Amino acid sequence: MAGISGERRRLRPERARWTANPRARLIALAGLLVVALAVVLVVRAVSLSAAQAAYDLAAAAFRNDQAAAAQLVTDGEVALDDAIAVFDASAGKVLTDQPRLDLATAIDAATDRLSGAAQELTAAETAADASTVSTALFDLGGRARTSASTLSAFDFSAAAGVDGIAGELAAPVAAVTQAMADWQAEQDRILRERYTNNVHATGWTPELDECIGSVDVTAHYQNVPTIAEHWSCGGKNFPDDAGTMITLTGEHAGTYRVDGIVAMLNADRDSTADLPRGFDLLYQTCQNGYSGTMSFTALTKVS
């Protein structure tokens, strides 16, 4: 027992020295704090790094989806612009309006869908701009995780819905294109079969009596633009229904629209002062070969 007591007596001075040295104690505590802080910083740095990595993956996937959605919208808008161009070009150039009505309906539907997709892309850009990442250690990656979650949850469904617009517009566009072709074929047929009159000469009675076509008698009618033809030489065949399109060759060559008979004069009673004026051209013939019923048909030059 004495030995033990002696040992204790020997240890007491050592503990006394430790207790009596506050500087050593502070140094030791500071070391412990440094180690603890280092551990905390490492933990926070690891947490932030993981959050940043998750955000980077979400942002990359979001940008890929956004680019694909933007391309779908662009393709749809190109198809829509082409369809609108065909619709505009077909105005007045189809035999029936039904193909244009069908195309108009398809254009309206495509416009609505593309409008929704465009709004979605705008919202996506806003979401991307708002998803900035805080790099502060005290954040522990919370903002990064929230932004990653927001981007991952964004739905590009409206843009996906415009994927088939080009195909859906193709059929009504083709129908209108065909309708325009049919209309043009009809115009070509009418042109081929259109009444044609050859104004073969300038003069008066001798030239009219040749009976080989109309004669420009403008000079005889005091410069009122007029062509004439005997009834029996072709006058009875000259169309006088308003709106009829005709072709003249020779003098005054061109395409004309018939505006109808604008005067009926009597050679024994009327003079050149009674001629109707203000028209591009007049066509004169004696109805049924009788000079008492000289008809004057007005013509408007179209081309």
pLDDT tens across 135-156, in order? 544 454 566 667 666 666 667 6
pLDDT at 18 over 60: no
Q: What are phi and psi of 13, to 5 degrees?
A: -60, -35
pLDDT at 100 over 70: yes
User: In the prediction, which pLDDT does 132 show?
Assistant: 60
Which of 91-105, 185-199, 263-277 comes out lowest in average pLDDT?
Answer: 185-199
pLDDT at 158 over 70: no
Decide which of 69 and 242 is more confident: 242
User: In the prediction, which pLDDT does 73 show?
Assistant: 77
pLDDT at 6 over 50: no
Q: What is the mean pLDDT of residues 222-236?
A: 95
pLDDT at 195 over 60: yes
Q: What is the mean pLDDT of residues 211-233?
A: 95
Q: Which amino acid is at 153?
A: A
Decide which of 1 and 300 is more confident: 300
Q: What are phi and psi of 11, to 5 degrees?
A: -80, -30
What token pair was written down for 97?
């309006």
CA-CA distance, 153 to 127, in Å (whole number)? 11
* Closest C-alpha to 168, from 106, 115, 118: 106
Contacts of 130 (CB under 8 A, 6+ apart): 147, 150
What token pair was written down for 107?
């254009």
What token pair was written down for 269?
């009673």
User: In the prediction, which pLDDT does 75 show?
Assistant: 83
Q: Check: CB of residue 48 under 8 Å from CB of residue 137.
A: yes
Q: Check: CB of residue 283 under 8 Å from CB of residue 214.
A: yes
pTM of the model: 0.52
User: In the prediction, which pLDDT does 76 show?
Assistant: 83
Strand, helix or coil at 243? coil
User: In the prediction, which pLDDT does 77 show?
Assistant: 85
User: In the prediction, which pLDDT does 29 show?
Assistant: 64
Strand, helix or coil at 18? helix
pLDDT at 224 over 50: yes
CA-CA distance, 165 to 161, in Å (whole number)? 8
Calculate the average pLDDT of the chain.
Answer: 80
CA-CA distance, 93 to 84, in Å (whole number)? 15
Q: 250: pLDDT confidence band, cut at 50, 70 and 90? A: very high
